[in-house]
Amino acid sequence: MKRRVFGGTGASQAQVDMAPLIDMVFILLIFFMVASSFVREAGVDITRPESQTASSVEEGFVPIGIDQGGRVFLGGRVIPADSVRSIRIALDEAGRDRVLVQADREVPTHLLLRVIDSAKLAGATQVDVAALEE
């Protein structure tokens, strides 16, 4: 079947419809925005202790993790347990005054208390310890 072109140079031009591409990019943007708004973790694999009175925490906190080996994690990097300055910087950057300590069930109490004290000295008005509901 021959194509007739009236006027112009006689060559037909193919056009790409950009609407589906724009729709796909918009859907991906929404997906990543929703996926990034989930509860933030401290970036370390831990086995949380269980508690009968545990309640869920929404958002609005700075997560600090303590693994079984006693390493303290803040923002994906290891910090000293008594690093008030690092915690203060993280609180200021996040614009928050609440800290959630996510400690492994095998973490010694003295280490957990050092981290809680450091968070309070850094300016955290509320420090919570993460646990699983029984």
Q: Which residue has the higher pLDDT, 133 or 88?
A: 88
Structure confidence at residue 131 (pLDDT): 81
**DSSP per-residue string spanning 54-115:** -----S--EEEEE-TT--EEETTEEE-TT-HHHHHHHHHHHT--EEEEEE-TTS-HHHHHHH
Q: How many Å apart are CA 78 and CA 42, to the nearest integer?
A: 11
Stretch 121-125: mean pLDDT, rounded? 92
26-44: pLDDT as tens digits: 899 888 877 765 545 555 6
Confidence band, pLDDT 50/70/90 cuts, at residue 120: very high
Query: Tokens at residue 85, please?
Result: 């300055």
User: Is the pTM here over 0.75, yes or no?
Assistant: no
What pLDDT digit, counting tens, does each position of 45-63 carry? 667 777 767 777 767 888 8
For residue 96, what pLDDT band results from cuts at 50, 70 and 90?
confident
Q: What is the pLDDT of residues 75-86, one digit of tens each?
A: 888 998 888 999
